[in-house]
Structure 1
Amino acid sequence: MKTVFRTFIPFLFLFISIQICAQNVSLNRVEPPNWWVGMENTELQLLVYGENISQTKPSIHYEGISIKSMSMLENENYLFINLSIAKTTKAGAFDIVFKTKTGKELRYNYELKTKRNRHNPIQTIDGSDVMYLITPDRFANGNPKNDSTEDTLEKVNRSNQDGRHGGDIDGVINHLDYIKELGVTTLWLNPFLENDQPKYSYHGYGISDFYKTDSRFGTNADFINLVDVCHQKEMKVIMDQVFNHCGSGHWWMNDLPSKDWLNQWDTYTRSNFTNIAASDPHASKSDYDLFTKGWFDTNLPDLNLENPFLATYMIQNSIWWIEYAQLDGIRMDTYPYPEKNVMAKWVEEINTEYPNFYIVAETWEAKASSLSYWNNNGVNNDGYKSPVNSVCDYPLYYAMLKAFGNENNIYKIYETLAEDFVYGDAYNNKIFNGNHDVGRLFTLLNDDIDKLKLSMAFTLTSRGIPQLYYGDEILLEGDKPDGQLRKDFPGGWKSDKRNAFTEKGRTPQENGVYNYVSTILNWRKNAIEIHSGKLTHYQPIDNIYVYFRSKNEEKTMVIINNNSKTINKFSLERFKESIQGYSNGTDIITNTYFSSLKSIDLKANSACIIKLSN
């Protein structure tokens, strides 16, 4: 036994020595997975992940490509390679070779494609457009085969209001004709990227892979197909992106590049969700830190964009999707929460590559004064200048609820619009009467169809870029919890008892609202005064609100009677300064012709949208 023991010890030492010298090395992923020549920014950061990958020496032999620098953080399984791509570099593929200390070579074939024309085919999103917001899991199931997939944890369970219901990208494609016929021009999907969470993953905001479409929605190719079909139908596509947090199931969560990749606390700490802390000149540091660095939820780790490698990663990911999918715009979730200087840099870098690219920031602010921090022409008092060109107009949303809801006071809209002077460009604000985070419009307006119609008439004729929420045009109901206000669209599943995508599948009331909304939407496509015309409004008297939209010779008068009684022979004398030069008009909703503009009969709780003419 003694002899055996003596001979075993040297062998053991030799084995350990060999293992130390020849550590296992693997190459699992490179992100971005590809890039483009012709970019204005000639630098590219590659995140490389694999076991002990930082112990390798990478090399590239391709004309116009050089490795500018390499960086590793605390975790040896990550390597950040900074490339320089010369303006003369041609599109093509090349190997990135990672050589280990033992001479072993790992290869990644990297492709550089040709960037689309810088000034041409970007489609501008502006007041001529109307967005249609869809929660993909709840809209339509086009491919039942991907309802549950092997590579994701949560399986389909349509009986669970918080579960996966099976809606997907194919379902959206299958109903694009419905969306186009409704009259909207632009599609916005809640995030479709992978959310590999054990539960409550359907909403899309817990991303586990920033470069991969969730397999229960389809593939990256399916999303590209959706964009292509939309463009063929002369529709635009906005992508919902998230910089503030990822999902707890993200692939890097079990092996973070560094401790400061996330905003981490000694114990779980939730954000205070106090948006005004970002603009409050008197905010304490602790309140501000809690707002920007606290987590949204236990399953939504807060990303630390003060880490420059992560900031670059996220900015490049956003640009990658713009180019890869030929996007027309981006809606950025929770815009005020991440480090605001990084967010400003993100906007600027996108605008460098794609001038005038449409970006709308989710800015949940109830007051125009706070919201204007993110949309003004100058520098804020703290020295911060926001380059965002569109914000979510929550002040106007809340004013609409007060106008057409329980308060029944349309003056709230008038006084809110009177504060437009605080904005850089209020006409570029995204206005809406519903979305995936608030109760259904029909429910919040006490199931009053007339009031819902008034809300639609105002949203689609006021200043700004309108956005509608799927199903509000057919009176879908629901309030918190979220699963109730994100109900399935009737007819999106083969087992549904009716198909509300068709006229026959809708009730008379639903068809009445659908036709009302569709009439306004399809008319406004060619109404340039509504797209970008000046808004002139008059102080409401007796809960009647009158305003005009005018551009060049085109002018439309909107009268909203927010009363439960009919007003006969409502005099238009008070508005003669806006009517001057026009002698007649046609109500585009009812197609009623008015040969005189002296007075008009107003039905109870009704809107007149009168195109003026000579």
Structure 2
Amino acid sequence: MKIKMYLSLLLFFTTIINSSNFEVDKIEPPNWWSGMKWNEVQLMVYGKNIKDAEVSVEGENVKLIKVHNAESSSYLFLDLAIEEAGTVNINFTKAGNSVNYKYEILERESPTESHKGFSNNDVLYLIFPDRFADGDTTNNYLFNEKEEFSFRDLNGRHGGDIQGMIDNLDYLKELGVSTIWSTPVLENNMYMSYHGYAATDLYKVDPRQGTNELYKKFVEEAHKKGLKIIYDHVTNHVGVNHPWTNDLPFSDWYNGSVENHHTTRHNKIAYLDIHGDNESVEFTTKGWFTSYMPDLNQRNPFLAKYIIQNTIWWIEYAGIDGIREDTYPYNYQPFMAEWAKVLLGEYPNLNIVGEIWTGVPSFLAKYQGNSFFPAAVNSHLPALTDFALRDAFVRYLEGSRGIYDIYETIAQDFLYANPNNLVTFIDNHDIDRGLYAADTNYTKFKITLQILLTTRGIPKLFYGSEIGLAGGGHHGRIREAFPGGFPFSNQNAFEEIGRDSVQNDLFNFTKKLIDLRNSNSALKTGKLIQFPPYDDVYIYFREDDENTFMIIINDNEETKEIDLSFVDHKLKGFNKAEAFLGNHNLTLGEKPSLKMNSKCGEIFLLK
């Protein structure tokens, strides 16, 4: 009996000691700003035994609205109303012990060169940082016990980093692009960590990429050179080594668990299928991409606020201009609609492009904000990745379909709320490069580049396409190292003298197209008028109040006299045509005539 009483007392006092021995480790977001529309911020407090702690704040610049316990004793959530900038003393008290935490509310910087968005006035350039340029070799071998791949393995780190991007901004200016989209640079203390899409800290840059401060400098340096930055954001999942995994704030923070989850079936169309079953949608939106990427449950209101605030924080902290949202259809769509609405309310000039990986225009179109098609919610998503046009490009490059396929895809633009806000591309970091699809047929690749940079939409280039990188068949080869970006490079393609004749020819061709687009509004924002290809000849016009351009693609294997009779009415009133890509001579008048070389394109400015 005495032994039982002793054990009971021991357990009682041990519980008191443990509950009073509490800690506050960190708070996210790490700071906030005054003057924001989102002026009621929810702080996520990480610690030890902090459940049921009493909380008070000192400072006239904020008000504590409510304290929320999580299911786990390691977290608290604090709702604060922000009024002015300043330091806030947050006091935590439990069982007679106190912890003070200083939290900063900063004045907004809001420089005029930030948050400008992106549009069809721009040319985007996608960088995969680890494979672009190694600007700081001292951070290459930082310890990561979960990596498992050796340095320079196809699936391993190569050493590219933020400093490497900063070092080569002048190269991008020379090429003529206006906007950089880099894949994620957040901490990925993970298996196969080089790709960056399995974050283990959503507020911290991976130390092998640099620091938060260096990322902010990257944005600032880009802005100084007139370049804009798109931030690659992931709402759908985190890496399995995120601290949440071993101590979830709430049991429904993830969809499933490491031990008990299902893999998504990638039925992205299920959400839009009017005959579909809700279980099909649930299976897609609640499924994990892989066993090492836990799926986030945005139905949890605390996680939903966390994600919105995390996105706002990076936009405000770094001054970025746009968002590319990864794996968009795999998320809980009512939440994504609210997420986009909040961001655009806070930053009206911002643009957001959602990765919608489907080549079917009708399904793709329904994800765009203000869609013509009935939907449960308005997505408020301004821009989409144009996988439909990309697929048509690839079918042309592979030879399975002809130039008519490209025309037919664009002819379905009536489905979109805004076809000019589609991000067009030939390739990216997840799919075989265009030249790989073309079996290194540079002629066909140039034709595709010409269409990409002269048709409607927001064109995007994948790093190295301009010098002929042609990797495919494996993600590690698609994401090959840019020559000249690494100590192991045997040439420096960032400089003209370091490129061979083939690389320089393609670089100069790409630059010429971009320069022509940049200097002529008709090629960026002008009306597109296209004609059905006939006899493997595709003709379309871009026109505005200033200029009219006629673009012609001769996809025949031989030199051809081009039949212009069906576009003759578009040539009336013009007396001269200036060719930009070759020495083609277009004669205007009663009977316009043009002879074009085989397998080539031309751009004419009509005067």
TM bin (shorter chain): over 0.9
* Structure 2 residue 500 is the aligned partner of structure 1 residue 503: no
The structure 1 residue matched to 2:71, chosen from 71, 74, 98, is 74
The structure 1 residue matched to 2:606, chosen from 577, 601, 612, is 612
Per-residue CA deviations over 1:569-605 (Å, capped at 9, x if unaligned) read x243321222222221222234767564722221111
Give the C-alpha shift of residue 45 in structure 1: 0.5
Greater displacement, 573-582 / 45-54: 573-582
State the secondary structure of the residue aligned to 2:194.
coil
Q: Are 1:404 and 1:410, in contact at CA under 8 Å, matched by a contact in 2?
A: no
1: distance between equivalents of 2:239 and 2:371? 36
Structure 1 residues 63 and 9, CA gap change in structure 2 (3 angstroms): same
Q: Are 2:372 and 2:415, in contact at CA under 8 Å, matched by a contact in 1?
A: no
Give the C-alpha shift of residue 491 in structure 1: 1.1
Structure 1 residues 379 and 605, CA gap change in structure 2 (3 angstroms): closer
Give the C-alpha shift of residue 346 in structure 1: 0.5
State the secondary structure of the residue aligned to 2:135.
coil
2: distance between equivalents of 1:448 and 1:588? 22
In structure 1, the residue matched to 2:14 is 19
In structure 1, the residue matched to 2:239 is 247
Per-residue CA deviations over 1:512-552 (Å, capped at 9, x if unaligned) read 11110011112211210111111000110011100000111
2: distance between equivalents of 1:577 and 1:233? 43
The structure 2 residue matched to 1:29, chosen from 22, 26, 30, is 26
* Structure 2 residue 198 is the aligned partner of structure 1 residue 201: no
Structure 1 residues 309 and 380, CA gap change in structure 2 (3 angstroms): farther
Per-residue CA deviations over 1:91-141 (Å, capped at 9, x if unaligned) read 221221111222x22122111112244988431311110110011000111
* Structure 2 residue 188 is the aligned partner of structure 1 residue 191: no
Alignment of 1:426-575 (within 5 A): 426-568=419-561, 570-575=562-567
In structure 1, the residue matched to 2:171 is 178
Greater displacement, 61-70 / 266-275: 266-275
Give the C-alpha shift of residue 377 in structure 1: 2.9
2: distance between equivalents of 1:577 and 1:365? 37
Greater displacement, 262-271 / 529-538: 262-271
1: distance between equivalents of 2:518 and 2:355? 25
Greater displacement, 329-338 / 470-479: 470-479
In structure 2, the residue matched to 1:49 is 46
Q: Are 2:397 and 2:434, in contact at CA under 8 Å, matched by a contact in 1?
A: no
1: distance between equivalents of 2:149 and 2:68? 42
Per-residue CA deviations over 1:284-341 (Å, capped at 9, x if unaligned) read 2222111111100010010000111001100100000000000100000011111001
2: distance between equivalents of 1:93 and 1:51? 24
State the secondary structure of the residue aligned to 1:125.
coil
Per-residue CA deviations over 1:318-367 (Å, capped at 9, x if unaligned) read 00000000010000001111100100000110111111311000001111
The structure 2 residue matched to 1:61, chosen from 58, 63, 67, is 58
State the secondary structure of the residue aligned to 1:180.
helix
* Alignment size in residue pairs: 602
Percent identity between matched residues is 38
Q: Are 1:157 and 1:165, in contact at CA under 8 Å, matched by a contact in 2?
A: no
How high is the TM-score relative to the length of structure 1? 0.94
State the secondary structure of the residue aligned to 1:98.
strand
Per-residue CA deviations over 1:463-497 (Å, capped at 9, x if unaligned) read 00000101111111222321111111111112211
* Structure 2 residue 90 is the aligned partner of structure 1 residue 96: yes
One-letter amino acid matched to 1:50: G
State the secondary structure of the residue aligned to 2:511.
helix
The structure 2 residue matched to 1:303, chosen from 296, 301, 317, is 296
Q: Are 2:253 and 2:297, in contact at CA under 8 Å, matched by a contact in 1?
A: yes
Give the C-alpha shift of residue 150 in structure 1: 3.4
The structure 1 residue matched to 2:203, chosen from 211, 214, 223, is 211
2: distance between equivalents of 1:466 and 1:530? 11
State the secondary structure of the residue aligned to 2:497.
coil
Q: Are 2:270 and 2:276, in contact at CA under 8 Å, matched by a contact in 1?
A: yes
Give the C-alpha shift of residue 254 in structure 1: 1.1
* Structure 2 residue 82 is the aligned partner of structure 1 residue 85: yes
Give the C-alpha shift of residue 378 in structure 1: 4.5
* Structure 2 residue 275 is the aligned partner of structure 1 residue 282: yes
State the secondary structure of the residue aligned to 1:258.
coil
State the secondary structure of the residue aligned to 1:46.
strand
Give the C-alpha shift of residue 264 in structure 1: 0.6
2: distance between equivalents of 1:308 and 1:416? 40
The structure 1 residue matched to 2:143, chosen from 143, 150, 172, is 150
Q: Are 1:148 and 1:155, in contact at CA under 8 Å, matched by a contact in 2?
A: no
One-letter amino acid matched to 1:146: N
One-letter amino acid matched to 2:150: N
Structure 1 residues 376 and 19, CA gap change in structure 2 (3 angstroms): closer
Q: Are 1:72 and 1:79, in contact at CA under 8 Å, matched by a contact in 2?
A: yes
1: distance between equivalents of 2:246 and 2:583? 62
Per-residue CA deviations over 1:235-256 (Å, capped at 9, x if unaligned) read 0000000001100011211111
Alignment of 1:416-431 (within 5 A): 416-431=409-424
How high is the TM-score relative to the length of structure 2? 0.95
One-letter amino acid matched to 1:513: L
State the secondary structure of the residue aligned to 1:27.
strand
In structure 1, the residue matched to 2:376 is 383
Give the C-alpha shift of residue 259 in structure 1: 1.2
One-letter amino acid matched to 1:247: G
Q: CA RMSD in A?
A: 2.0
One-letter amino acid matched to 1:55: D
Per-residue CA deviations over 1:403-451 (Å, capped at 9, x if unaligned) read 3331241111111111111110001110001101110110101210001
In structure 2, the residue matched to 1:128 is 121
